[in-house]
Amino acid sequence: MRGKEALDALAQVDRDLIETRLRLLVDLRAENDLRAMMEYAAEDIVFDVRGNWMALPSMGPIRGKANVARALISLTTQYENLGSTLHDLLIDGERVAMRRTARVRHRGTNRVADVQIVDFVRFRDGLVVSLSEVSDSLALARLDEF
């Protein structure tokens, strides 16, 4: 029984680390600190965005740390993240599903909206290796209207 207790304790430490990192990444995104965010990304990270983020040139998967950094810069050039509220957070080993509401301001129209977002994140060795994001396309389209 002692071996199972030790494994359970290690799993809880890993879960706590992932939750702490994920909450930090959400805060760093709201602070627009992309450089700090990228410190928690694996070199081979894949960023797959689904929804109507007009600032991104491609809705398909973006591969590699440098390319993901450029995509995030492009995204934050047009949209300002004013913070997120986490509603649901499910952690299963190194896989995470998170539902949140991000308060977003379009820098061109100056419109502000609450955007529902679901993120699927996979960690490897404490770094993000995969981030898939699905956002409320209608809320984003309303922000984009001139």
- Phi, psi torsion values for 56, nearest 5 degrees: -90, 130
Contact residues for 52 (Cβ-Cβ < 8 A; gap 6+)? 135, 137, 138, 140, 141, 144
Edge-to-edge strands, sheet with 79-92: 62-63, 41-50, 127-135, 112-124, 95-106, 79-92
What is this structure's pTM? 0.84
Structure token pair of residue 142: 């309303």
Complete domains list, the chain, with CATH:
2-144 (3.10.450.50)
Task: Give the tens place of pLDDT for each residue, 57-94.
Answer: 556 799 999 999 998 898 888 899 999 999 999 999 89
Task: Give the tens place of pLDDT for each residue, 96-121.
Answer: 999 999 999 999 999 999 999 999 99
